[in-house]
Structure 1
Amino acid sequence: MERVCKDLEQRIEVYLDGTRVTLPPIESVVVLNIPSWAAGVDLWKLGRDSEDGTSCGEEQKMDDGKIEVMALYSSFHIARLQVGLSEPLKLGQVSQVKIKLSGKTPMQIDGEPWLQPPAMITLSHVDKANVLVLSTETE
């Protein structure tokens, strides 16, 4: 029951398209490009846009080259998101995310956790794969 990610905002820096974001007290940063998180929660659609009422971007799409970035306050906040009683703090919808870790930080990608040493992590779309789909229309 230890809160090892408490005060995360003091140990990381987040840059969205090159601009540093001021973070409130948080325990997690979530970076997505799909509309499903934590067993099916559509995190980007939950709640209003941003704290000051300004838009944090458009509808989430997997093929728009954008990455949705949100912050979470605690494990209790995650539980409330699961049942639709809360909303994430939307940081932005951008083309590139950089996260600078000043110390060892717990991380997870697609359910696989590890302890990441200090690093600068850059996330962006690189390529697209064209996929053929069988049409069900009759001509």
Structure 2
Amino acid sequence: MIINLSRNRFEGHIPSIIGDLVGLRMMNLSHYGLEGIILASFHQLSVLESLDLSSNKIGGEIPQQLVSLKSLEVINLSHNHLVGCIPKGKQFDTFENSSKQGNDGLYGFTLSKDCGGDDGLPQAITPVELDEEVEDSTMISWQAFLMGY
């Protein structure tokens, strides 16, 4: 299954229902206007090979759970508002720096700013909380779209 909705005019948060699309192999939501955080439930996308969330307004940290995505070959999180230490391990050690550029708050392996922890593990940072009040029309639009998958 492939979702390519790049350069659309959808706005709002990444819907949590995407974490339920376990057959998803490629997801491109770049140049979109998305806000909020990268959902930890993405770790359920066990066959995901390519994830492009570039050029949005996504904040918070990159969830450590994404390291468990063994099939992930390509990731592009550039030009967002991400912060914190980049997860370390497995394929995350091999992703290009360009996949993270434009996120001035990111630091860690492969970047010029180190995580600073003695053990190399990410330092705890308060994550950006999702706005509890998501417009019903936005959620209905997403649900209607994803029902086709």
* TM-score, scaled relative to structure 1: 0.27
Greater RCO (Cα-Cα under 8 Å, separation 6 or more): 1
Q: Would you tell me which structure has more strand in proportion to its own residues?
A: 1
Q: Would you tell me which structure has more helix in proportion to its own residues?
A: 2
* TM-score, scaled relative to structure 2: 0.26
Rg larger in structure = 1
